Amino acid sequence: MVFTHLPANGFLVLAAFMPTLPLAIACLLARATLSQMDVPARQSYAMAVVAPEERAAAASVTNVPRSLAAAAGPLPAGWLLGLSTFGWPLVVAGVGKAIYDLLLLSMFRHAPPTEDMAPSPAGREAQM
C-alpha cells in the first residue's frame, strides 16, 4: 500500500507547484494511476486479520470513516483557497495522506495476516 501511495501523494503535492496547467494535470493523472492500486490489497488484508464473523463490521469500520472524511474535505479546501490562490489543499492533503500511510506501515508491518499463519479450509481439503 505504501509503495504506491507515497509516490501518488508526492504527485499530489507536486501538482500545487507546477507552473502550467498541463504540468499540473500530468501530475494529477500520474497520481490517479497509482492512488487506487492498493484498494484490493488493503481490503484483502483487512478481511484477513479479522475473524470471518467480524468481517462485515470491519468493512464498515474501515470504509465509512473514509467516506465521511472525503465528504468533509471541500470545506477546509475552500477555506484554504480563500486565503491564498496557491494549491494549499493539495499540499495539505498529500502530506496528510503520506503521514497516514507511514503511520499505518509502522503499526501493521509486523502483523501477519491470519491467512499466512494457517492453511485455509480450501487448502486443507486440497491436501486430503
Residue type, 20: T
pLDDT at 123 over 50: no
In this structure, is residue 120 part of a structural domain?
Answer: no
Q: Averaged over 2-20, what is the pLDDT?
A: 93
In this structure, is residue 11 part of a structural domain?
Answer: yes
Using CA atoms, how far residue 74 sits from 13, 77, 95, in Å, is: 17, 5, 17
- Supply the pLDDT for residue 6: 92
- Supply the pLDDT for residue 89: 93
pLDDT at 124 over 50: no
Q: Can you give the residue range of the structural domain that contains 53? A: 2-110
In this structure, is residue 128 part of a structural domain?
Answer: no
pLDDT at 128 over 50: no
pLDDT at 116 over 70: no
**Number of domains composing the chain:** 1
- Supply the pLDDT for residue 49: 82
- Supply the pLDDT for residue 19: 95
Nearest in space to 100 (alpha carbons), one of 76, 71, 65: 65
In this structure, is residue 117 part of a structural domain?
Answer: no
In this structure, is residue 98 part of a structural domain?
Answer: yes
Q: Is the pTM of this model over 0.75?
A: no
- Supply the pLDDT for residue 115: 56
pLDDT digits (tens, 9 = 90+) for 75-103: 989 999 899 889 999 999 999 999 988 99
In this structure, is residue 104 part of a structural domain?
Answer: yes
pLDDT digits (tens, 9 = 90+) for 21-58: 999 999 999 999 998 887 887 788 778 888 889 888 88
In this structure, is residue 17 part of a structural domain?
Answer: yes
